[in-house]
Amino acid sequence: MMSGPIRILILGGGFGGVYTARHLEELFAESSEVQITLVSRDNYFVMTPLLFEAGSGILEPRHAVNPIRPLLKMTQFIEAEVVEIDIARKMVTVGPPHGQADELPYDHLVLALGGVTNTKLVPGTEHALTFKTLGDAIYLRNHIIQLFERAQIESDPVRKASLLTIVLVGGGLVAVELAGEVTVFMTNLSRLYSKIDPREIRFDLLEAAPRIIPEMDEDLAQYATHTLEKRGVRVRVNTRVDRIEPGMVHLPDGESIPAQTILMATGVIPNPRVSSLPLEKDKKGRVLTEPTMRAKGHTNIWALGDCASIPDPSGHPYPTLAQHAIREGPQLAKNISAAIHGQPLEPFVYQTKGTLAALGHFKGVGRIYKFKIRGFLAWWVWRTYYLFRMPRFDRRLRIVLDWTVALLFRNDIVQLDIGRENTRHPARSDKPGADGDAEHHDSAATRADRSSSTAPH
């Protein structure tokens, strides 16, 4: 017979994990019946739709995320890396950043570890940047500013062209929103660099499919294409990337594009910690669940968000979007409670309300229910929606202040180079010349820091 509270262990502090924990707290308020634990790599959750503005400096990066602790009352939060999930032993091994690995036993396990950027599609993707985490957004902004600084003093026209060229691989929603925000950012930046003409900036968006943003109606995708083209983006569809080398993108027809910024936005695959589990999975590696979000063939394992394949009433999987993960959380919490109390479980049913994309500079595009919207209205609706989706009033206030300041003043070009600052730390090196060396390697150091603290690729 079981003694002590029932242990519910949630892995992943993104939309799925945090919303599940919050709703479990509501259902088990003040009850000692359960012990809820949430493990996540970072002590904040990322409001991904706001990452683009964090990447361009419109938003202070910290304001695009929300600290997890203040959002939870009775849940034990552990900031740690999930290292191993042992389903047979009902045990999860976690490794805190500066401590010993620890084992956490569970009675109910919630898999909410999200996804990672798909880096398997194009050989050489390791030479490209990804855009999924807060670290990615901070890194991209620093990287672009650094390239502008170098282009300003570059006398060789070929090298200068490569510094000012961005190649974005992918044409889905994330790619298009990223292109919208980065083009505006670069145009604004060029005003501060006397030797850079905005016409020297080259931006190629390469999409293998016949059109961009398949998630939206054709005419809306056309609108997005025209908007980006007016900003100088070459939107190239039916263009598959053959391979990537450092500073070079190769296409199958022999064309090569020299670019110091190569960005991958080729979609998301499930977290490898989840796709390697001995559970039933779809062909992408997402955990196949019942409509109740219970993993097939298991009574105590649940999955939601980007790492789960949850069937809708017609049997098709729901899309991997924040708007779904936010709604899956409360239903999953209800079903865990029902399972504990021996009550019937309910399926997750949700009808999408539409899709919106911000294109930067007061422009957006999308559909809400049957209504298609474009331009300023779509941009305004997008901003308002995500502002109110951000939990906690103080976060929302900070965002509104950032937006107001961005309307009144030019982009800030301060390059916050944490890697370089760190090189002065005595623990790293006291050797003469260490600064110079480190300066040379600082981007790599920043990236190494970043990749160790973000999703594995």
Ligand X SMILES: Cc1cc2nc3c(=O)[nH]c(=O)nc-3n(C[C@H](O)[C@H](O)[C@H](O)COP(=O)(O)OP(=O)(O)OC[C@H]3O[C@@H](n4cnc5c(N)ncnc54)[C@H](O)[C@@H]3O)c2cc1C
The residue ranges that bind ligand X (CB under 6 A) are: 12-17, 39-42, 45, 48-49, 51, 81-82, 112-114, 131-132, 174, 271, 273, 305-306, 320-323, 325, 455
- 402 vs 442 by CB, closer to ligand X: 402
By DSSP bridging, strand 248-250 and strand 243-245 are antiparallel
**Number of Cβ within a 10 Å radius of residue 315:** 7
Q: What DSSP element (H or E) covers 93? A: strand 91-95
- 41 vs 363 by CB, closer to ligand X: 41
Min dist CB 174 to ligand X, Å, is 5
Min dist CB 425 to ligand X, Å, is 26
- 196 vs 358 by CB, closer to ligand X: 358
Min dist CB 94 to ligand X, Å, is 7
Contacts of 440 (CB under 8 A, 6+ apart): none
Please classify residue 343 by burial: count the beta carbons closer than 10 Å to its beta carbon, then call 0-12 exposed, 13-18 middle and 19+ buried: exposed
Q: Do 92 and 40 contact (CB within 8 A), yes or no?
A: no
By DSSP bridging, strand 6-11 and strand 34-40 are parallel
- 325 vs 332 by CB, closer to ligand X: 325
**Number of Cβ within a 10 Å radius of residue 353:** 11
- 60 vs 435 by CB, closer to ligand X: 60
Min dist CB 287 to ligand X, Å, is 11
Distance CA 85, CA 92 (A): 5
- 13 vs 442 by CB, closer to ligand X: 13
DSSP 304-355: -GGGEE-B-TTSPBPP--HHHHHHHHHHHHHHHHHHHTTPPP--------EE
Min dist CB 293 to ligand X, Å, is 12
Min dist CB 455 to ligand X, Å, is 6
Min dist CB 38 to ligand X, Å, is 10
Q: Do 232 and 186 contact (CB within 8 A), yes or no?
A: no
Half-sphere exposure of 67 toward its Cβ, with a 13 Å CA cutoff?
Answer: 6
Min dist CB 220 to ligand X, Å, is 15
- 148 vs 318 by CB, closer to ligand X: 318
Residue 279: name the closest of 261, 263, 300 by CA. 300
- 85 vs 147 by CB, closer to ligand X: 85
Distance CA 318, CA 321 (A): 8
